Amino acid sequence: MDLDAITKHSASHAKPDGLILQYGTAGFRTKADRLDHVMFRMGLLAVLRSKQTKSTIGVMVTASHNPEDDNGVKLVDPLGEMLAPSWEEHATHLANAEEQDLARALVAISEEAAVNLHQDAFVVIGRDTRPSSEKLSESVIDGVTVLGGQFHDYGLLTTPQLHYMVCCRNTGGQYGEATIDGYYHKLSTAFVELSKQASCSGDDHRTLKVDCANGIGALKLKEMKHYLPQGLSVQLFNDGTKKLNHFCGADFVKSHQKPPEGIEMKANERCCSFDGDADRIIYYYCDVDGHFHLIDGDKIATLISSFLKELLLEIGESLTVGVVQTAYANGSSTRYLEEVMKVPVYCTKTGVKHLHHKAQEFDLGVYFEANGHGTVLFSKAAEAKIRQLAKELEDKKGKAAKMLENVIDLFNQATGDAISDMLVIEAILALKGLTIQQWDALYTDLPNRQLKVKVADRQVISTTDAERQVVKPPGLQEAINDLVKKYKLSRAFVRPSGTEDVVRVYAEADSQENADSLAYEVSLAVFQQAGGVGERPQPGF
Ligand SMILES: CC(=O)N[C@H]1[C@@H](OP(=O)(O)O)O[C@H](CO)[C@@H](O)[C@@H]1O
Ligand SMILES: [Mg+2]
């Protein structure tokens, strides 16, 4: 390591004095103008991680659903998964080292992680469409090069596309070709093959309106349209001509429980929204009375797992299927999955890395956050078995096995992917001849409300039991328990956000009014007992 060169380069990416940032649920995220030093340093760290794992490492510059002025960065590990937790700590240390300590911090990390500094390093970089992203990704490249790493800059990519590239490169192309054309080709081939099995493909099933959040998803879906069969007509809205994530996108639709701006919705039309970096998807429609119906990640998980179970039943294989959710999953979905569909359901902490990890325990692990981030993981053994059966079996069984094989290829198993999930869902709806209304009717969501509370230091709240119980500050959980008791079918929990400087409050109950009122009361308890700042929470929404 040429520490002098690093220190010299770092001076042009100087860290603002005293600024402390944390590698959170999805990497670093804050206002774009405070991130230059973090980008440079994540370039350095990616080189160390690449040397240590002897693999290609990814760096994605994005702040997903956050406002346009924010930005962020996260590292992608060798198989396309999120960075290992011990390296998240290294990332936090490195990002927060004062200028004069940077070289020392780098040496400490490479010693602690036993990095062979003579090993070659290769880093791939992607970025979203934010105005700040290009400059910030140049700072990442600066960090990579000063530590002697090689790199490939993919430029504009969705987050899941970057995860895909990393996975392809580290599996010697086995997962797919590490190019944008390779990605479109793999997904569209699987989609076409899967859709061929659909007997009914009436027009009503085949038009989909997509709100692209004015983000990278618009660009990439536009490119991909040329690869898709004519049978599926995808109409793009919020296609990047207006402000990113502004009154649109999956996060807006899910948290406000209303349609995005900039999309023309007629009664019963099937619509969906991507988020700003296209790793989440939410479906919805308005009925003839003008009522809005949200089909979130929980219902997506339900549709997908019931389809997978049917195919497994058809081929007569007893592979294990598990569904992984977080505490934000609607209570009705968990009940439906466990009691009606008889699939085991597990709850993990918020953040894809936790769900992904748990889902790896099953032959087929379905994981979705309620906000629409998720995918299905197939174990190596299950994948091999399915591919073998697809060759051997005939007739109905053979058809089911081939469909499962196509499903394996259609899912982005590196991470949740709005484009890939959209194609899976469209294929399933067509294959099963289901309308969006029939899908929606599988179960009825319990009314719920999510709120944010500002506190001086959100880390004063710590939780346990997959974030469903507060441990600290003392007394807060008891207060929540007392409030929950006042309502029917009720549940509430609070946790510090990993991406925003807020405490999140979630409540559900038998009516919207009760869910709203429980959420408000719990917010007030948080404000009073966990050091609330600014305006007190107010009732009414
Ligand atoms: C309630 C909620 O939706 N939380 C989101 C949000 O995390 P927080 O830690 O809650 O800020 O952003 C994460 C990254 O995109 C996503 O994984 C997660 O589900
Ligand atoms: Mg996202």
Active-site positions read 64
d(CA 501, CA 435): 40
Q: What is the length of the chain?
A: 541
Looking at the CA of residue 504, tell me the nearest atom of ligand 1.
Answer: 10
Nearest ligand, CA 275: 2
To test ligand 1's pocket by mutation, which of 83, 300, 499 has the most ligand atoms within 8 angstroms of CB? 499
pLDDT tens, position by position, 141-181: 999 999 999 999 999 999 999 999 999 999 999 999 999 99
Q: Please report the pLDDT score of residue 1 as a whole number.
A: 86
d(CA 450, CA 133): 30
Q: State whether the beta carbon of 23 lies less than 6 angstroms from ligand 1.
A: no
Three-state secondary-structure class, residue 375: strand
Walk me through the domains of the chain, giving residue ranges and CATH numbers. 3-156 (3.40.120.10), 183-291 (3.40.120.10), 297-414 (3.40.120), 448-530 (3.30.310.50)
Measure the N-to-C terminal CA separation of the chain; round to a whole number of Å. Answer: 55
Whole-number Å distance, alpha carbon 133 to ligand 2 midpoint, is 15
Q: Please report the pLDDT score of residue 317 as a whole number.
A: 87
For ligand 1, atom 12, the nearest C-alpha belongs to 499
Q: Please report the pLDDT score of residue 28 as a whole number.
A: 95
Q: Please report the pLDDT score of residue 199 as a whole number.
A: 65
370 carries a ligand binding annotation: yes
Q: State whether the beta carbon of 452 lies less than 6 angstroms from ligand 1.
A: no
255 carries a ligand binding annotation: no
Contact 164, 173 (CB under 8 A): no
Q: State whether the beta carbon of 305 lies less than 6 angstroms from ligand 1.
A: no
d(CA 103, CA 88): 18
Q: Please report the pLDDT score of residue 74 as a whole number.
A: 97
To test ligand 1's pocket by mutation, which of 350, 357, 461 has the most ligand atoms within 8 angstroms of CB? 350
- 3-state SS of 324-370 is EEECCCCHHHHHHHHHHCCCCEEEECCCHHHHHHHHCCCCEEEEECC
Q: What is the pTM of this model?
A: 0.95
Q: Do β-strands 503-508 and 448-453 pair in parallel, antiparallel, or remain unpaired? A: antiparallel
Whole-number Å distance, alpha carbon 458 to ligand 2 midpoint, is 22
For ligand 1, atom 18, the nearest C-alpha belongs to 351
To test ligand 1's pocket by mutation, which of 29, 356, 371, 452 has the most ligand atoms within 8 angstroms of CB? 371
Q: Which residues pair with 125 in a beta bridge?
A: 59, 153
Q: Helix, strand, coil % (nearest 5) of the chain?
A: 45, 20, 35
d(CA 59, CA 54): 16
Q: What is the DSSP letter of 51?
A: H
Cα angle at 373 between 75 and 76, to 5 degrees? 10
Q: Please report the pLDDT score of residue 204 as a whole number.
A: 45
**Contact partners, residue 109, CB within 8 Å, separation at least 6:** 45, 48, 90, 93, 94, 115
Which residue reads 């946790």 in tokens? 495
Q: State whether the beta carbon of 500 lies less than 6 angstroms from ligand 1.
A: yes
Q: State whether the beta carbon of 373 lies less than 6 angstroms from ligand 1.
A: yes
Whole-number Å distance, alpha carbon 249 to ligand 2 midpoint, is 10
**Token pair in block for residue 57:** 């490492």
Report, as ranges of residue numbers, the positions in the chain whose pLDDT lies below 70: 199-205, 541
Q: State whether the beta carbon of 351 lies less than 6 angstroms from ligand 1.
A: yes
Q: What is the DSSP letter of 100?
A: G
**Token pair in block for residue 287:** 């009925």
Q: Please report the pLDDT score of residue 26 as a whole number.
A: 85
Nearest ligand, CA 29: 1
Residue 103: how many CB atoms within 10 A of its CB? 17
Whole-number Å distance, alpha carbon 165 to ligand 2 midpoint, is 17
Q: State whether the beta carbon of 497 lies less than 6 angstroms from ligand 1.
A: yes
298 carries a ligand binding annotation: no
For residue 422, give the nearest of 315, 506, 333, 304 by alpha carbon.
Answer: 304
Whole-number Å distance, alpha carbon 374 to ligand 1 midpoint, is 12
Provide the total of helices (H) and of strands (E) in the chain, helices listed first: 18, 19
Q: Please report the pLDDT score of residue 203 as a whole number.
A: 46
CA distances from 277 to 159, 240, 270, 438, 452 (A): 6, 12, 22, 29, 23
Q: State whether the beta carbon of 62 lies less than 6 angstroms from ligand 1.
A: no
For ligand 1, atom 3, the nearest C-alpha belongs to 371
H or E element: which one contains 322?
A: strand 321-326
